Amino acid sequence: MKWTLPSFLCSITSFTFFSTIYTSSLLLMAISVVRYVGVAFPLTYQKLQKTLYPIIISAVIWLISAAHCSITFIIQHHPSLASSNSSICYENFTKDQLNILLPVRLEFFFLLCLVPLLISIFCYLRLILILYSRPKISWMQKRKAIGMASGTLAVFLICVLPYNFSHLLGFFQGQSPEWRYYTLLLSTLNTCIDPIIFYFSSSIFHCTSKKSIFRKHSVKIVKMKMQGTDTN
């Protein structure tokens, strides 16, 4: 864990590493919300299908993640907090640094981990219940939806939650738990898993597909609305 490069490069490395972890969790939450809206409110979903919206949402997510992870620069370079020990990258914090860092990590746990996890659980549970209430949707499509939901939640529980739980425990212990390094290994695993989740999310739920669950449900409701208008 020795760091022989300039300390500023350590800050950039830490910022990039941690921001991608929390950007990933927020993007997974955003996908779960989009899928839920697509099933529960298909007409609203059709109106929101503009390229600008996902760009704005992604930009906001990146800004939230970057703003929080900027703590890596503050802890190491603020005049009142900077440590003379530069042999280790973003470790061996002083008491003053921990007084700032531990409460921020606690916020990370609640705002960037627990809240996205709870929202994702709610969205996917509601999505599955709605799909099971639709008798015309095939069992294969239902299984695919359950598989994607289970895979997304598994990423949260295996890759994101253990590392962030170390923030919660560290806050009460007043220091970083020794097993935190092992949870960091799990966090890096989501770099490999997320592209798979995003791929299957797109292939299963893409609304331009003729076999899409969302498209079938949305088209059916739109036709019923049009028929009701014509009758009137």
Task: Provide the strand spans (E) within the chain.
Answer: none
Chain-wide mean pLDDT for the chain? 81
Domain ranges for the chain, please list them.
7-212
Using CA atoms, how far residue 115 sits from 26, 75, 108, in Å, is 9, 25, 10
> Could you please report the per-residue DSSP string of 6-65?
-HHHHHHHHHHHHHHHHHHHHHHHHHHHHHHHHHH-HHHHHHT--THHHHHHHHHHHHHH
Q: What is the pLDDT along the chain (232 residues), one digit of tens a residue?
A: 688 888 889 899 999 999 988 998 899 899 889 889 988 888 888 888 888 888 999 999 999 999 999 999 998 888 777 776 667 888 888 888 899 999 999 999 999 999 999 999 999 899 888 888 877 777 777 777 777 788 788 888 888 899 999 999 999 988 888 888 888 888 888 777 777 766 766 555 554 334 444 444 544 544 554 555 555 5
- Exposure string over 109-129, b if 16+ CB within 10 A, otherwise e: beebbbebbebbbebbeebbe
Q: pLDDT at position 82, please?
A: 74
- pTM for the full model? 0.78
Q: pLDDT at position 198, please?
A: 67
Look at residues 16, 17, 30 and name the one whose alpha carbon lies nearest to residue 116.
Answer: 30
Look at residues 55, 61, 52 and name the one whose alpha carbon lies nearest to residue 20.
Answer: 61
Look at residues 224, 204, 222 and name the one whose alpha carbon lies nearest to residue 213.
Answer: 204
- Report how far residue 126's alpha carbon sits from residue 130's, in angstroms, rounded to the nearest whole number: 6
Do you know the residue count of the chain? Answer: 232
Instruction: Check: CB of residue 65 under 8 Å from CB of residue 112.
Output: yes
41: region left, alpha or beta (phi > 0 left; psi from -120 to 50 alpha): beta
Look at residues 41, 45, 222 and name the one whose alpha carbon lies nearest to residue 230.
Answer: 222
Rg (C-alpha) for the chain, rounded Å, is 22
Look at residues 116, 98, 107, 87 and name the one whose alpha carbon lies nearest to residue 177.
Answer: 98
**Fold exhibited by the domain 7-212:** Rhopdopsin 7-helix transmembrane proteins (1.20.1070)
Coil, strand or helix at 2 = strand
